[in-house]
Amino acid sequence: MEWETVIGLETHTQLRTLSKIFSGASTAFGAQPNAQASAVDIALPGVLPVMNRAAVEHAIRFGLAVGATVAARSIFARKNYFYPDLPKGYQISQYEIPVVLGGAVRVTLEGVERSIQLTRAHLEEDAGKSLHEDFHGLSGIDLNRAGTPLLEIVTEPDMRSAAEAVAYARALHRLVMWIGICDGNMQEGSFRCDANVSVRPRGQKEYGTRCEIKNLNSFRFMEKAIEFEVRRQIALIEEGGTVVQETRLYDADRDETRPMRSKEDAQDYRYFPDPDLLPLVIDAQWVERVRAALPELPDAMAQRFQSVLGLSAYDAGVITASRPLAQYFEALLQNPKLGSRASGSDPEALYLDPKLCANWLCGELSAALHRENLEVEHSRITPGQLSGLLVRIQDGTISGKTAKEVFEALWQEGGEADAIIEAKGLRQISDDGALEKIVDQLIAENAVQVAEYRSGKDKVFGFFVGRAMKASGGRANPIQLNDILKKKLAP
Amino acid sequence: MNLAHTSLRQLAAALRAKTLSSRELAQSYLDRIARMDPQLNSFITLDAPRTLAAADAADVRIAQGDTGPLTGIPIAHKDIFCANGWLTTCGSKMLSNFVAPYDAHVIEQFHAAGSPLLGKTNMDEFAMGSSNETSYFGPVKNPWDLAAVPGGSSGGSAAAVAARLTPAATGTDTGGSIRQPASLCGISGIKPTYGRVSRYGMIAYASSLDQGGVLAPSAEDLALVLNTMVGFDARDSTCLERPAEDFTAGLDKPLAGLRIGLPREYFSDGVSADVANAIEAALKEYERLGATRVDISLPNTKLSVPVYYVLAPAEASSNLSRFDGVRYGYRAKDYGDLTDLYERSRAEGFGPEVKRRILTGTYVLSKGYYDAYYLQAQRVRRLILDDFQQAFTRCDVIMGPSSPTVAFNIGEKTSDPIQMYLSDIFTISVNLAGLPGLSIPVGFGAQQRPVGLQLIGDYFSEAHLLNIAHQYQQATDWHAQSPALAKA
């Protein structure tokens, strides 16, 4: 039988706010245990939550970025359960009426674009952490993370393969970082995915019984965990068994999922509206202010790079993989010494060739960054410095090959491309007189080859190009040299 | 000057005139408490050195001319308010070792006003009770009759005020917990509009109903204390930002033309004859003061008790989840695993009434029952609120008994929770609607136990309610009467 995989993802994104969702304590990662737990976070008797406006604004920003409905009025509810890292004995979350409804994230998989529909996104608080090591048989509770704002983003069961789920997760990861609501750090738990996985015979309408897989803290693990789970479910059914609805944990070391708790153990969370918090009311003006401040989104930007700048889909995709990279690219195009095609309305103005910029960004610069394990925002060459170099390629002052030498000098020592070109004497020889002199001498010294060429052996042309380049110290403008050689060698 | 029987206004004047120091005043109350409270059990915690240090600080302020209406006047606080460095038990074994590390907003307000904290008063455990018999620290006795309950849950505050062990006391009122004990102890008590007083630092029972308020001998005293107590606090999202108001400003307005709404449901068979007689006499007095009677109906009154006993336990079951023995408070001595730690700590730390309400609340929020109980109760709550809004189109104030009977005997209703719950039948709907309510003494019923008249106003009408109560107290002297015990 042929099986179809059905996947839905729930992603907990930690929102990038200075303070917690309901208290004034800092959200910074890595402090001493419980150093960032306020009276509210440890749930002393009598304390009350107060909504963090910035967290709401992040939720609005996300809603707008995915084309969702931002609820004018949403409700906070209490999810009741006992656990030592949940100090109040309930988590404040949103249940019946979330802040963001619907929306979609576009993903491209093997060149095919698809839209993954979102069900909802809701605000909630994170729990603390239970530490079971180093306490001599006791457990430690660290409440620094308790109350960190989360936006839980839930998809429809819209994905049909592990690869597609990963493509969605990557697109979402890029988006939440792009709009500045999440730092995306998966190691620190800022972006955590759970996958709901089921299988069904291809063509069947009803969904199969699903399992929720937790602990997918990298894209690689997500793919492997889903693939394992799909194999497990298919094998189980084919052997005559049935899938039991349960929560399973992915064990990366053994590359398998194993049961954590079954549906029978599922707790009754006794959700009810939190009487300590008034309904969250978001007026239209607020939404519009957030919309106005929203940056151009990656999909739109990639579109523009293709249609306006003529980049390939591939290059446009690579450049918009992160906002800092895209910003670097745009800064590169905005060389003040030239016009700018990206924003310029003057068709006569000079501009840097976007393709040239894209090649250098994805090539030389990316390699250098990778070599030193730097993010583009910490590049040792600024967009201004690099554009100063690219201008000299474009205007023929130096060849692409020479430019790599200049790039290395810029990377190691800093400075300006023009100064390096002058200091090292790398300027391309574009003076017809000088080039003619070189060519004349070659013709005089290589009569045999000249004769061969003139008798129709075109291949010999390459010999002259090589010799002329060598004679010029590699600085001859190749196009001009070509022209002069052709003219002078003509029979 | 008999300090214990002097109004707040007179005490403030004496302090300003420096014929009395805050230390002398605080000491005199501490002496009275030491002498009389062993009979009453109205205080859980006293800390004389701390109180006197605060009194000395107040005397310094007075010497510097930095004086407000409550500067130097010690006030007792219900043990539900967290006060930095003070044991704050909420009447429970669960918090019998809990020293609060911060001040409630209410406590901050009194600190800022220069009012020394006189002590923490006894209360029903987690404010759950109508007789002060559920306190882990033992029942409080009614100063008018030591065999009688003082009412609850602010029973310690009410008894302390009635015995003149404090000039005034704070309380909280979730279903009548200020008005009912005020009534049973023959004093005045006000529960302001929900949202007037910050709940920050006030240990939550039922968040959507809890409201801090004041108990004192007279309406004028209530107004003075309320002036200090209310105030916007951004740490409580349900606290309302209102322009500052002086609740004493309108006390002297005449009542001519006042329309008093009398809900027929508040004058039913359920009210005992002695209470009905005292209420009728009070209404006649109001007529002499120029008021007129309007018959009204609050048809959903009978539903208020069942609605309350769904919603309040629902919220309480969640609010009390934090008392798990992990971070603070009582922890069972012997336990196996984590679940055992929770179960034993909570089984040993909570009393039976608290457990009853946690169980009820957990039940009504459970899958399959939520709609039938919690949601339905919320709908009826809306109807109760609408009843009041309808009524206030026809009258300026609603009056009736604060409690259907005078104080009952200690132990009389402890075995019958339903009978106990019904003693709040006239006060509960005010909390469900979020309205302000006030109780004043209007005479005595059976066994010479006090009767209280309840005044219910529209939202934010505290000043008017206090004016209506004050005018009555200008014409009568029930509020000035104190039990024999207090005169000793």
User: Residue A344, Cβ neighbours under 10 Å: how many?
Assistant: 15
Ranges of chain B with pLDDT below 50: none
Contact by Cβ (8 Å): A7, A199? no
B183: closest CA among B425, B419, B10, B459? Answer: B425
Asked if the model's pLDDT at residue A347 lies above 60, the reply is no
Say yes or no to pLDDT of A342 above 50. no
Region A365-375: mean pLDDT is 94
B154, B177, B317, B429: which one is catalytic? B177
| Residue B97 counted as domain residue | yes
- Residue A265's DSSP bridge partners are none
Q: How confident is the model at residue A338 (pLDDT cuts 50, 70, 90)?
A: low
Q: Band the pLDDT of A333: cuts 50, 70, 90.
A: confident
Task: Centre a 10 Å sphere on the Cβ of residue B76 and count the other Cβ atoms it contains.
Answer: 28
Please give the residue of chain A at the shortest CA–CA distance from B364. Answer: A270
Question: What does the pLDDT look like over A143-194, one tens digit per residue?
Answer: 999 999 999 999 999 999 999 999 999 999 999 999 999 999 999 999 999 9
- Give me B116's structure tokens: 């020394």
Query: Distance between CA A77 and CA A90 in Å, rounded?
Result: 9
Contact B237 A49 (CB under 8 A): yes
Task: Tell me the nearest-neighbour CA distance from B42 into chain A, angstroms.
Answer: 22
Residue B431 lies in a domain: yes
Query: Does the beta-carbon distance from A272 to B365 stay under 8 Å?
Result: yes
Helix (H, G, I), strand (E, B) or coil at A115: strand
State yes or no: is B333 an active-site residue: no
Residue of B nearest to A140 (CA): B326
Query: Considering the domain boundaries, does residue B315 fall inside one?
Result: no
Determine, yes or no, domain membership for B272.
Answer: no
Catalytic residue among B42, B78, B130, B183: B78
Instruction: Give the whole-angstrom CA distance, residue B425 versus residue B302.
Output: 8
Spatial distance between the Cα atoms of A38 and A29, rounded to a whole number of angstroms: 15
Please provide the average confidence, as pLDDT, over all residues in chain B. Answer: 97
Chain A and chain B share a number of CB contacts under 8 A equal to 96
pLDDT tens digits, A84-118 = 999 999 999 999 999 999 999 999 898 899 999 99
Inter-chain CB proximity A80 and B321 less than 8 Å:
yes
Which domains does chain A carry?
3-286 (no CATH), 303-424 (no CATH), 432-489 (1.10.10.410)
Structural domain of B37: 3-258+394-487
Of chain B residues 55-74, which have a CB less than 8 A from chain A? none
Measured in angstroms, the CA of A77 and the nearest CA of chain B are apart by 11
d(CA A317, nearest CA chain B) in Å: 45
Predicted confidence (pLDDT) at residue A346 exceeds the cutoff of 70? no
How many C-beta atoms lie closer than 10 Å to residue A432's C-beta? 12
- Of the candidates A48, A2, A60, A43, which has an alpha carbon nearest to the alpha carbon of residue A22? A48
Average pLDDT over chain A reads 91
Across A179-188, b (16+ Cβ under 10 Å) vs e yields bebbbbebee
**Considering only alpha carbons, which residue of chain B is nearest residue A88?**
B322
The pLDDT tens digits of the residues spanning B96-154 come to 999 999 999 999 999 999 999 999 999 999 999 999 999 999 999 999 999 999 999 99
Cα dihedral across residues A279, A284, A285, A287: positive or negative = positive
- Out of B131, B153, B402, B403, the active site residue is B153
Q: Is residue B222 part of a domain?
A: yes
Of the candidates B203, B324, B367, the beta carbon closest to that of A89 is on B324
Beta strand A112-125 pairing with A104-109? antiparallel
Domain assignment present for B275: no
Mutation to test the A interface, candidates B86, B318, B331, most A Cβ within 10 Å = B318
CA distance B260 to B301: 18
Is there a contact between B237 and A276 if contact means CB atoms under 8 Å apart? Answer: yes
Q: What is the pLDDT of residues A466-475, one digit of tens each?
A: 888 888 877 7
**In this complex, do B315 and A275 lie within 8 Å of one another by their Cβ atoms?**
yes
Q: What is the pLDDT of residue A337?
A: 60
Do A49 and B199 count as a contact with CB atoms less than 8 A apart?
A: no
Minimal Cβ distance to A45: which of B203, B317, B366:
B203
B177 is catalytic: yes
- Reported confidence tier of residue A341, pLDDT bands at 50, 70, 90: very low
Residue B157 lies in a domain: yes
CB contact under 8 A, A46 and B322: no
The CA distance from B90 to the nearest CA of chain A, in Å, is: 10
Residues 6+ apart with CB under 8 A from B380: B300, B303, B307
Residues of B within 8 A of A47 (CB-CB) are 200-201
Q: Which of A45, A268, A271 is facing B95, going by the closest CB pair?
A: A45
User: What's the pLDDT at A266?
Assistant: 75
Do the strands A3-14 and A149-155 form a parallel or antiparallel pair, or are they unpaired? antiparallel
| B153 belongs to the catalytic site | yes
- Any domain includes B407: yes
Identify which of A46, A90, A272 has the shortest CB distance to residue B200.
A46
Among candidates B101, B102, B200 on the partner chain, residue whose Cβ is nearest the Cβ of A48? B200
Q: Is B390 on the interface with A (CB under 8 A)?
A: no
- Predicted confidence at residue A350, as pLDDT, reads 57
Mean pLDDT of A210-235: 94
| Domain CATH code at residue B416 | 3.90.1300.10
Give CA–CA dist A69/A220, Å, rounded. 32
ipTM here: 0.96
Q: Which residues pair with B213 in a beta bridge?
A: B171
Looking at the structure of chain B, the number of domains it has is: 1
d(CA B407, CA B186) in angstroms, rounded, equals: 10
